[in-house]
Every structure is written in C-alpha cells, then in structure tokens.
Structure 1
C-alpha cells in the first residue's frame, strides 16, 4: 500500500496562501489573478479525497471559483458548506513592518496580507478536515472558495447564477447549512446590513457666469438632489430600526462629489456617489426605485438631465433565523449569542441557493484591510476544534 500523503503543516499552508498575491481591485493596475490560491487549495483538497471543480468566472480572465465535495452529494441537500474568498484588498507594502506576502510570526501572531481576511480560514479548515481521513460521511462536506469578494463579489454572484452547489428543491430535500469564515473573533453572526453604491449624474448647460440665463447649473440642481437624499436618509432612520445592530437604522453616506471646471463658468455637469446600507427585510431594488422616483421632480424643476445608476450590483441584507440549526449549533459550541454586524459578506448569495447560512471565522474584523494585518495564535486551535465539531454534527451524525 502506498504511503498516505500528509498535508503541509499549518504554518506551511499559511505561508503558501499568503505568498500568492491575489489582490482584487476595481483598478486594473492592482487587480491580480486568484488562480495560484485556487490551485494550491485544489491540490490539498484532492489529497484529502475531495472531488474538486474549478469554475472560471465568466468575463473575468484569471479568476475562478472552487467547489470541493467530500462524501456523496446526490442533489438532495444536506451537509455543510465551509465558504471563504480567496482574494485580498490592495495594500501599502512600504507601510508594513514586514513583507505582506511573506508569513511572519511575532508577538504570538501570524502577520501577512490575508491572514485574517481570510486566507487563514482555509488553512484551518484543512487542519480540521484532516482529522476525518477515515470517517464515513453521511452528508456531504463542501469547501467553497470564491473570487473577487473584495471588489465586485463576481465569484459568489456567478455561483448563485449557476446553482453550482446543485441542491434540489424537491419535497424530500434536506436542509443544507453553511459557515462563511469571515473574521468575527469566532462569534456567530446571523445578520448583517446590505450595501448599495449609487452614482447620480446631473447634466445642465455650461455658460458664462456673468449671466445665469446663459446656462443651467448642474450644481444648483445637485444641491437639491443632496437635500432630497438627506430627507430620504431621515425618513429611513425614522421608519426602520433593528435593535440587534450597533447602528440600529439604515445609513446613507454622501461619499464624493465632482462638478464644474472654473469659478467663472456655470457648472454643466455634476456627479455624486453615495452608499446606502439597508437592514434585513429591506430591498435594495425597492430603495433604488424610491430614490429615482423622488429625484425625478428635481430634474424637471431645474430643467436638467438626471441619471441614477449603480456603481456595482450591490449586496442584499442578510438574516438567518435564530432557530436555525446552524445558528443553534454555533451558539452552543462557542457559548456566545449570535450577533449582527454592519459589514457585508457573501452570505446572501448562499441564501439564494436555499442554504441556511452563518458568518463565523477566526480573527478580528478590526485587523482586516489594515497595515500589518494579523491572525492571533490563540484563535487557531479554537477555530480548528469548532470546525471539526461542526463537521461531526452536520456530516457524520
């Protein structure tokens, strides 16, 4: 009998994953392929007898998702999905104390870009799975690795559209559960706000500023647009609250504005970009429609053209019921009550596939997207143990 392959140790897995530059960015000069991460994960998972699919993301050269399955998946649901993204945000290497693409240990921490958010999660998933080499899986274990979460979430969108997890919808279909391993300090998160980013473009007519009749000021119209958006913000705060969140109402941030070209010229064009973070139960599509409806009279009053368009497709608000088996299990195993957070994740896309989902992973969100990102050593063993307990409960029992 051939000798059984042994996966690299925890440190080596961390080091390999951190060493692959998989930055995703809306700016082409920073954007990188995630294929090196995908291929490393595929090799390790295949050595653990997973059936691995690498699914290129359409119209995204060099970007792919991975779906790896251990145990029989007959399309009738059941089992556990462990999900994470393979990309990172851009960084400023000159501001780091060590190379962000080289795993560095100091102060009982692993430093490196993606240690916390969230390549480290995959290394710990593999550590946990290795304990079950000879186990009989009654329900499938699925490891999901996605592309471009930090920029467009195009990977998760593609999986949702393809129904890549192929779960049936028949009456006998078992429930399937997922954990998205974003950094939550191993606290279960069962709801988060959505996010939409919109651009308002006002087109007037430039002219000499000595005579207002020679033009139509796009900036004057934008002043009214801003006033109406702030009124919408007040209305949303008055009408929608959720006490589970630290900021209990929806938020709207008027983020940037650009317009005009000279003080002595009537402004012909002006653009405003804003974000809106809706609570669970609210609809991004409904909010977009309300905003367009309420801004249309401003265009008519100022005799300008006004366009509202999304800067990206947005992420829906997310909520899983407190009574869900995955929420109950994670609350029991962590001795922590499930919570709500303001940041968005890929969880809503898994929900679209009918999977009851929770967000829970090692590391603190405060370290994500920061110089000298790290994962504390004291998160590692508890995370591996928790993942192993979830595998045992949802795949072996």
Structure 2
C-alpha cells in the first residue's frame, strides 16, 4: 500500500513542482489542477480568492461532513530562485542520491502531494480529512486568514489541524510570530556640497536602521534563558533597502523593510513603540523644514505565534501516527499554524523534510522523508477509519 501511495505522490509532486508558484506569481494554474484532481475523485472544493482574484486558497472535505475530522494544510507558494546556483531545473523534480531536488519539494509541495495522493484512502474514513491549501505564506502568511475564517464558520468542528511544514516528521507545538514593516523616508533634494539646503533621505534612513540594529542587540542581550526557542529572544532583521539617485545629490527617497519575529507572549508593538515614537518626532522636524519631507511606517503583515499550550490530545494523536515519542518541539520560523490556533483549532506542525533545506538553491526532500510522510498518511487514513 505504501508503494502505491508513494508512486501516486511522486507523480503529483512532479506536477506541482512544474507550476512556478513563486509568491510574486499567480497560483491559479496549480489550484485549477488540484480542483480537477479532486473532482476526478468525487470531491468538491471551494476557492477563497484574493481581492483581485489573481490568487486563491482552496479547501475541500474528503469523507463525511461531520465533526471530529483532521485538517491537513500547506501553502502553495514558493520563494524565488533568482540568483541561486541550481544544478538542475528548479521546476522539475530531479532525484539525485536519494534526494528529490526542486523548488518546493521540501517547502512544502511534498506534503501537499502526499495529502492528495491519500485522497482515495481518506474517502473511506468514518471521520473527514479537510484539505486546506493557501497562497502567499512566504510573504507574511497573507493568504490563509480568509480561508481559515471561512472554514471555522462553515465546517463541522475538526478535532485538529496539522500544518505540514518540514519538521523531519517530528511534532512541533510552538512557533514565533512575525510582523513585517516598510519604512519610507522622503527628503528634499539638493547638491551634496550644500546639505544645509536639503534633507538626505538616505542619511535619515541610516539613522533609523542604526536604531533598529541597537534594538536587535538589546533583544539579544535581554533574552530569556528559559525560552525553548533558538535563538531564545525576539529577532529583528532588515531584509531590503534602497535609496538615492546619484552620489552628489541629497537623496529624495529611501526605503527599507524589516521583520520582527517574537515568541508567544512577547508583544511586537511594545518592542517597536520607541521606534515609532521617534518616527513621529522626525516627521514633525522634517515637515517644518520642507513640507513634503517625512517618514512613514507601514505594517505589511502580522502573523501570530503558535503557543505550545494546545490540545494534549491532538498532540498525542499525531505522535501515535509518527512514532515520535520525544519531547514537544518549537521552531523559530513563522507559519500559518498560529493563525489556525488563533481561530480555535487545536494545531500542530508536522511534515517531511528539513527546514534547513527550505529556500536554498538545490532545495531537496529526501526520499526517506517522503516515505515517512507516506506512512503517516496511511496511518492517518487507518486511524480515521476506526473512529
């Protein structure tokens, strides 16, 4: 039975990888393929689209539409391959030395392929499996909330949600949250030899980025030694920055984006309050000199953490399926699990592959891990058929 499921999952994985669902692109071609696949198995599905209908989440119930089911969730988008040194076509699954290379094999189309391959088995269960596939997870978990809200309102209450991020099939019960902010500085252009006649947006941006660097250092120095996370503290990094026109012109505009990742019970707004207060003060000072000048800060995303205080029963159920008898784990990356938990679902993270492979050139999912994922789906189908 495992071999049959694996064969089907390998074929599905190859199809999913061939869709370039980098977050900047639409994922509708992949969603349409999944819809058609489910329809062939007699399973109806529901789209939840974004504002301009260029992207979509998809959820579906496999089996009876009753309470006590299990959500299997994964994101359909992947990160870019731009500038990375790939040794094979990233949009083709290439097996080398027991490793399945391709963008998204690990993060996280491998899990989605396994869940879809198991649909014929889930159809015979006494309890349902709810498939939930999202968009734009990689740019701040933006897509899933609308789908989660609809599922919470319309589905008979599931017993738990399993988010299939790569964990080496270990059970994870907590993750950090993430907020992403963009800071834009508008200055006043002048000749660089006459800085008193203008405001360099770059110079202001550098000062603000220095403040964030000092804030990040303070978070590290005041880390809670009892925290289970690695690193134990909230982390702040600046991901992108741009500004200026020429070396001899005071920059009119500068922009940078930073992310703040907080463990549960750490408030990102409290951390950023002094920084936002400085921005407000700078706005007043700059506008007095030049009305068009100033600083703005915009929150681009805000995904909550998952607290390791969920349902022990749900965690124990997943442990029985994986054979994972170790202690509960937590991860420092952000995921959609916190959003499911916030909506009232008992939630764990468990999926094949290592997060260390995610976002890397030559990303891979080990065949051994793919096999363990297949075993997990078979055991889940068996468990749901007994209830």
Under a length normalisation based on structure 2, what TM-score does the superposition of the two structures give?
0.83
Alpha-carbon separation, structure 2, partners of 1:336 and 1:342:
19
Is 1:387–2:377 an aligned residue pair? yes
- C-alpha displacement of 1:274: 1.9
Aligned length in residues:
375
Deviation readout 1:77-117 (Å, 9 max, x if unpaired): 53210001122222259943332222222312222222211
- The unaligned stretches of length 5 or more in structure 1 are 1-5, 26-30
Task: Identify which of 304, 307, 314 aligns with 2:296.
Answer: 307
Alpha-carbon separation, structure 1, partners of 2:197 and 2:380:
69
Cα distance change, pair 204–129 in 1 and its aligned pair in 2 (3 A): closer
Task: Identify which of 31, 34, 39 aligns with 1:41.
Answer: 34
By percentage of residues, which structure has more helix?
Answer: 2
Task: Identify which of 316, 321, 326 aligns with 1:328.
Answer: 316
**Farther-moved stretch of structure 1 (345-354 vs 151-160):** 151-160
After TM superposition, list the pairs within 5 Å mapping 1:29-68 onto structure 2.
31=25, 33-61=26-54, 63-68=55-60
Where does residue 108 of structure 1 map in the other structure?
A: 98
Alpha-carbon separation, structure 1, partners of 2:182 and 2:275:
11
- C-alpha displacement of 1:325: 2.1
Cα distance change, pair 93–395 in 1 and its aligned pair in 2 (3 A): farther
Task: Identify which of 226, 230, 254 aligns with 2:209.
Answer: 226
Is 1:11–2:10 an aligned residue pair? yes
Alpha-carbon separation, structure 2, partners of 1:12 and 1:226:
47
Alpha-carbon separation, structure 2, partners of 1:326 and 1:389:
15
- Any idea what SS the aligned residue of 1:84 has? strand
Alpha-carbon separation, structure 2, partners of 1:211 and 1:164:
60
- The unaligned stretches of length 5 or more in structure 2 are none
Contact 1:92 1:371 in 2 (8 A): no
- Any idea what SS the aligned residue of 2:168 has? coil
Task: Identify which of 142, 153, 168 aligns with 1:166.
Answer: 153
Deviation readout 1:208-229 (Å, 9 max, x if unpaired): 4445542344445445433433
Is 1:84–2:74 an aligned residue pair? yes
- C-alpha displacement of 1:266: 4.1
Where does residue 28 of structure 1 map in the other structure?
A: none
Contact 1:200 1:309 in 2 (8 A): yes
- Any idea what SS the aligned residue of 2:351 has? coil
Contact 1:347 1:358 in 2 (8 A): yes
Runs of 4+ in structure 1 deviating by more than 6 angstroms, as ranges, are none
Alpha-carbon separation, structure 2, partners of 1:12 and 1:263:
54
Where does residue 197 of structure 1 map in the other structure?
A: 180
Cα distance change, pair 298–395 in 1 and its aligned pair in 2 (3 A): farther
Cα distance change, pair 191–213 in 1 and its aligned pair in 2 (3 A): same
Deviation readout 1:33-65 (Å, 9 max, x if unpaired): 32332233233333444332233333142x222
Alpha-carbon separation, structure 1, partners of 2:83 and 2:212:
38
- C-alpha displacement of 1:383: 1.4
- C-alpha displacement of 1:322: 5.7
After TM superposition, list the pairs within 5 Å mapping 1:1-397 onto structure 2.
9-25=8-24, 31=25, 33-61=26-54, 63-74=55-66, 77-92=67-82, 95-135=85-125, 137=126, 139-151=127-139, 153-161=141-149, 163-166=150-153, 176-237=159-220, 241=224, 243-287=227-271, 289-300=273-284, 305-310=294-299, 312-321=300-309, 323-332=311-320, 333-393=323-383, 396-397=386-387
Alpha-carbon separation, structure 2, partners of 1:298 and 1:65:
41
